[in-house]
Structure 1
Amino acid sequence: MNTVTFYKENQLVLGVKTEKGIIDVKEATGAFPTIEAVPQTVSELVSSGEEGKRALEALVEQAVKEQTALLNENELTFGPSVDNPQKIICVGLNYKRHADEIKMEYPKTPILFSKFANALAGHNEEVVLPPNGKEYDYEAELAIVIGKVAKDVKVEDALSYVYGYTNGNDLSARDFQFRTHQWLLGKTVDGFCPIGPSLVSKEEIDDPNNLSIRLSLNGELRQNSNTSDMIFNCAEIISYISQHMTLLPGDIILTGTPEGVIMGEPEETRTWLKAGDEVTVEIEKLGSLTTKFI
């Protein structure tokens, strides 16, 4: 299952990506009312488990067959692939070669910080760079989306609590981030958590700990790695967080970024993000997430 959100008449609508185009779930539900209990939002889909997914799959199959409620994705204005998480939890310094490039020791336990929902942005969205800062950086990241309540989860069971995965970009204002020992200010600027373009359910991903991850800036490849370089893998991250707080359906976990960030360059050669730049995050099997800056 590959879902998106997009704006229609100023409302965020759930869509499903198919080879024929994007199915408008709300419109398709009206066209086929005999298919019951179809989730109408990402939150409903993620929290409804396999029953909700089966209902949505049945709706999509019928809509494709009848060529109903199909939209051209190139004409859509995308929203964030998960639009209403209770928590956005980020893992810092979680790739070996990234730690190496900024000359920091590998952490003994996951370094956690948070973003808020104001930071969410969608594919192709224009993100405003605040005028009171200047050290703006990108961070390509695999994002985990939790599918069911997770508390005190064992590592070996942790991936069973996942709904799916999406591309993320942990945008950072480094001059805000390191103003104090708390990173929050530099991490949750409006629009500084683009995710998408789609949410891919876990059965589509054989191994989240072995996916290529790349980022380009204005067409130039800047990050090129694999999630296998993570210090703490997806299951270990979920288990660790669940020992300290309850994870809920729809919660997002950004799992860290590989080497190649601007902060990893020598100070004298750093060119921070600026208005007019365009960044694309591409993760294997998850598509490409583009962010434009103004």
Structure 2
Amino acid sequence: MYFATFHYNGEEQFGILSENKENIIPIKKILNKLGIAIPKTLRDFVENSDDTLIKAIKDTLKAHDFEAIPLESIKLCAPIPYPRRNLICLGKNYMDHAKEVVGLPGADNEIPKFPIYFTKIADPAIGNGDIIKNHKNITNMIDYEVELAIVIGKDGINIKKEEAEKYIFGYTIVNDISARNIQRKHSQWFRGKSLETFCPMGPYLVHKSEIPFPVELDIKCSINGEIRQNSNTKNLIFDIPYIISDLSKEMYLRAGDIILTGTPSGVGLGFKPFKFLKSGDVVECYIEKIGTLTNKIE
């Protein structure tokens, strides 16, 4: 199932993409049929769902025809515009990306031996088609980073690698937009990655049942039609079971947490000369089985 948060007739709601991927079925229609209370947001749904509910929804969709809304009649939002906690991010988690930043100012010269964790604010995350602000008063070095994002489905601590998938609700795309000069100025990544609109997310939150495990998906980013990043999530240095197990050691992962797994090579910082984003640039982030997240620079 492909879940979406969207605006329709002045109301923000969430629903499920139809099988032909042309319409959205509002979740309230399905849950009303099941006699289940309707959560306010997709985040609330994730935090309170389980495999039994997901199966019941799938069975209900097969058994009934629901009135749906054409995609062209809605405005897609980020699936989870307001995460309950900061997004958890991994730095330099593709070998080719780790190598492309070696020797650059503000980057160390080592391939990570352990995951590099940091956090990023999304308040809110922006959705497909939304504008990324250029923040020209403080930066002219805006960069793109396509990333597979994991959405945690239930609370867990000290999770074993072999049980990691049980704690996943699904996956989405996040473009980890970064102001490189601010990263360099502050000698860390949080501030330069947390400016307003620097977290495009979407277009959908795809339930884990749609994506075989281990997750091996093509991942790409193009700027104005030029492919800059092109890899596969099988090339992660630290894979998804490792990430979930390592993060949860003596620390709770909570339902609704969002983990960004890192970006492959081809970011603007990795080119000589640099290829940072300019006003009017169109950024397309694609991940196989999830879709394409498109945004434009102010």
Q: TM-score, structure 2 length as denominator?
A: 0.90
2:112 pairs with 1:107: yes
2:268 pairs with 1:270: no
2:295 pairs with 1:287: no
1:191 CA displacement = 1.3
Q: Distance in 2 between matches of 1:275 and 1:242?
A: 40
Q: Distance in 1 between matches of 2:147 and 2:32?
A: 39
Q: Distance in 1 between matches of 2:193 and 2:251?
A: 21
- CA RMSD between the two structures: 1.8
Paired letter, 2:53? G
SS at match of 1:178: helix
- Residue by residue over 1:107-142, the C-alpha shift from the partner in whole angstroms, topping out at 9 and shown as x without a partner, is 111111111231511111112111221100000100
2:92 pairs with 1:93: yes
CA contact (8 A) 2:96 2:264 kept: yes
| The one of 92, 111, 120 aligned to 2:125 | 120
| Unmatched 5+ stretches in structure 2 | 103-108
Give the 3 Å change call, closer, same or farther, for CA 54–166 of structure 1 in structure 2: same
Q: Distance in 2 between matches of 1:193 and 1:57?
A: 30
Give the match for residue 76 of structure 1.
74
Give the 3 Å change call, closer, same or farther, for CA 208–5 of structure 1 in structure 2: farther
CA contact (8 A) 1:119 1:192 kept: no
| Count of aligned positions | 286
Matches within 5 A, 1:167-246: 167-246=173-252
- Residue by residue over 1:206-225, the C-alpha shift from the partner in whole angstroms, topping out at 9 and shown as x without a partner, is 13541110111011111000
Q: Distance in 1 between matches of 2:32 and 2:237?
A: 48
Q: Distance in 2 between matches of 1:119 and 1:293?
A: 17
The range that moved more, 99-108 or 195-204, is 99-108
CA contact (8 A) 1:137 1:273 kept: yes
| The one of 244, 250, 267 aligned to 2:256 | 250
CA contact (8 A) 2:95 2:235 kept: yes
Q: Distance in 1 between matches of 2:25 and 2:159?
A: 35
Matches within 5 A, 1:18-167: 18=18, 19=20, 20-26=22-28, 28=29, 33-37=32-36, 39-40=38-39, 41-47=41-47, 48-61=49-62, 65-66=65-66, 68=67, 70-87=68-85, 88-103=87-102, 104-118=109-123, 120-131=125-136, 132-167=138-173
CA contact (8 A) 2:269 2:275 kept: no
CA contact (8 A) 2:147 2:174 kept: yes
